[in-house]
Structure 1
């Protein structure tokens, strides 16, 4: 039986775990390997890990760190950051990653979605769209940690990604990132209308009620969060956390 997925999202910079607000001012919050070990004990549905340095600096994926994370993990893993070729994707899958997240590389070359899906299977190819509201209405996809506008309409690209063989879409709200005041429900609604693919939303969760609101509306959906599962309390003390079984059941 298909169920909603609740997914911690971890950001990696300089091999450390960081958290941002509106994609800016990354704050070091700990060791990613330690975070993975803690999430192992909490029966997490899935874990998403994004290297926010790789694309900006033109770096190869950090295969050594990816392998260490995969070796420690007992949950499904999605990795994104710096993947530009089929060969890089295959190497990452060979390290034990179940899903690969593609963003700027497929915005520049949408054919890469098809090429990777043909090699590893569509279910493993995730297209991530980092989206920001436009000044006079509508939304635009951004890359390079929210610094570079693409002029691409996210809803049109969702349709193209599905046609080209993507297995899942991730919609990440730059405006809501790290603010912890709730998801952009309008963005989610419009994105969900465009595709029958599995979809995950990210950006804005400040409470389990925020997650529940999305699940109540869209049922079978992935609901991801960063700050909510890394910080605790009004002073945002660093504490890795995740809803226990009873809490999760109430959300569904």
Structure 2
């Protein structure tokens, strides 16, 4: 849901600003360009901090499950969902309707499909029909091609698919996805700003919300992704867990007044 700010008798809906946490085993990490994971803490502690900061929603992605061919770590998901006061989306190792049903049944509001969506587009349609589009997010990871343009990649950026992210996003939209989460592999963890060209290309023609991810630099960068590039919401990882040029681990989130000043 979008942040609500009440000004007099008016209710102003601010765009969603969503922290993304990467789970590796039982700990949280942050990657740079999908490589070199750095340990950043315990997931439950991070969730409690974000609870206190009243964030819009939270995305939790297990980056090891798909690569290992393992299913979701349901106990870890259950622990996270039980602590999370805001809407929670989970992705990682999901490959079937049974996986989705079990994840939603333990308190997660949305599931995030990535590798499974690339391998089996029909899973999107079946999941949307069964659980409703609002519960299905398709995560698209895109990398620049040497001769220009972009390509969808799978398995945390390790597998080339040959698919164009614009066409793939539209196909996921038509298949029944409730949201598209778009991540630039090159920008991931760099704090150098979103890939606004990529966001603009993919956002055009979509009927469903687009969550921009990968490289968030500051609040003006987030505002630009929404106002100028066509995203409906923004997600970030390093921006919320690192502080200063030495990237010291410090979980943070903009205050409601800072968000209001940035987006109003």
TM-score range normalised by the length of the shorter chain: over 0.9
Match among 77, 83, 89 for residue 88 of structure 2? 77
After TM superposition, give the deviation of residue 56 of structure 1 in Å: 0.2
Are 1:195 and 2:206 matched, yes or no?
Answer: yes
Are 1:18 and 2:29 matched, yes or no?
Answer: yes
After TM superposition, give the deviation of residue 9 of structure 1 in Å: 0.5
Aligned counterparts, 1:85-96, within 5 A:
85-96=96-107
After TM superposition, give the deviation of residue 37 of structure 1 in Å: 0.4
SS state of the match for residue 137, structure 2?
A: strand
2:173 is matched with 162
Aligned counterparts, 1:237-252, within 5 A:
237-252=248-263
2:9 is matched with none
After TM superposition, give the deviation of residue 108 of structure 1 in Å: 1.1
SS state of the match for residue 30, structure 2?
A: strand
Residues 2 and 220 in structure 1, CA contact (< 8 A), matched pair in contact too: no
Match among 102, 120, 125 for residue 136 of structure 2? 125
Residues 4 and 220 in structure 1, CA contact (< 8 A), matched pair in contact too: no
Q: Any stretches of 5+ residues in structure 2 without a counterpart? A: 1-11
Aligned counterparts, 1:1-252, within 5 A:
2-218=13-229, 221-252=232-263
The alignment's C-alpha RMSD in Å is: 1.2
Equivalent pairs counted in the alignment come to 252
Distance, in Å, in 1 between the alignment partners of 2:47 and 2:88 is 10
Residues 211 and 231 in structure 2, CA contact (< 8 A), matched pair in contact too: no
SS state of the match for residue 180, structure 2?
A: strand
Distance, in Å, in 2 between the alignment partners of 1:36 and 1:13 is 15
| TM-score for the superposition, normalised by structure 1 | 0.97
SS state of the match for residue 163, structure 1?
A: helix
Structure 1 residues 161-214: Cα deviation after superposition (integer angstroms, max 9, x where no partner):
111111000100001001111000000000110302011010011222211221
2:6 is matched with none
Structure with greater contact order relative to length (CA < 8 Å, sep ≥ 6)? 1
Distance, in Å, in 2 between the alignment partners of 1:177 and 1:192 is 19
